[in-house]
Amino acid sequence: MKDERVEGLTVRVLLVEDEPRVAQFVRRGLREEQFTVDVAQDGEEALFMAETGEYDAMVLDLRLPKRDGIEVLTHLRAHQNKVPVLVLTAKDDLKDKVEALNKGADDYLVKPFKFEELLARLRALLRRQGELYPLVLRAGGLEMDTSKHSVTHAGQMVQLTTREYSVLEFLVRNQGKVVTRTMLSEHVWEHDFDSMSNVIDVLIARLRKKLGGDSGDGLIRTVRGSGYILEGTDEHVDRPGAP
In the bound state, the residue with its beta carbon closest to Ca ion is 63
| Segment contacting Ca ion by CB under 5 A, of 59-67, 98-106, 201-209, 231-239 | 59-67
Q: Does 111 bind Ca ion (CB under 5 A)?
A: no
Question: CB–CB of 133/124 below 8 Å?
Answer: no
Residue selected from 42, 45, 61, 143 as contacting Ca ion according to rule CB under 5 A: 61
| Segment contacting Ca ion by CB under 5 A, of 18-26, 32-40, 149-157, 167-175 | 18-26
The rounded distance, in Å, linking the Cα atoms of 72 and 46 is 7
Q: Give me the least distance between CB of 109 and Ca ion, in Å please.
A: 13
| Segment contacting Ca ion by CB under 5 A, of 55-63, 166-174, 214-222, 230-238 | 55-63
Give me the long-range contacts of 112-115 (CB less than 8 A, separation at least 24): 113/88, 115/25, 115/26, 115/29
Q: Give me the least distance between CB of 32 and Ca ion, in Å please.
A: 23
| Segment contacting Ca ion by CB under 5 A, of 17-25, 41-49, 113-121, 232-240 | 17-25
Q: Give me the least distance between CB of 93 and Ca ion, in Å please.
A: 12
| Rounded (5°) CA angle 106-9-6 | 70
Q: Give me the least distance between CB of 88 and Ca ion, in Å please.
A: 8
Residue selected from 18, 33, 42, 56 as contacting Ca ion according to rule CB under 5 A: 18
User: Exposed e or buried b for every residue in 47-66, given b needs 16+ CB within 10 A?
Assistant: bebbeeeebbbbbbbbbbee
The rounded distance, in Å, linking the Cα atoms of 38 and 63 is 18
Nearer to Ca ion, 14 or 151 (CB): 14
Nearer to Ca ion, 63 or 206 (CB): 63
Residue selected from 7, 12, 44, 63 as contacting Ca ion according to rule CB under 5 A: 63
Question: CB–CB of 196/168 below 8 Å?
Answer: no
Strand partners, 139: 142
Q: Does 67 bind Ca ion (CB under 5 A)?
A: no
Task: Give the binding site for Ca ion (CB under 5 A).
Answer: 18, 61, 63
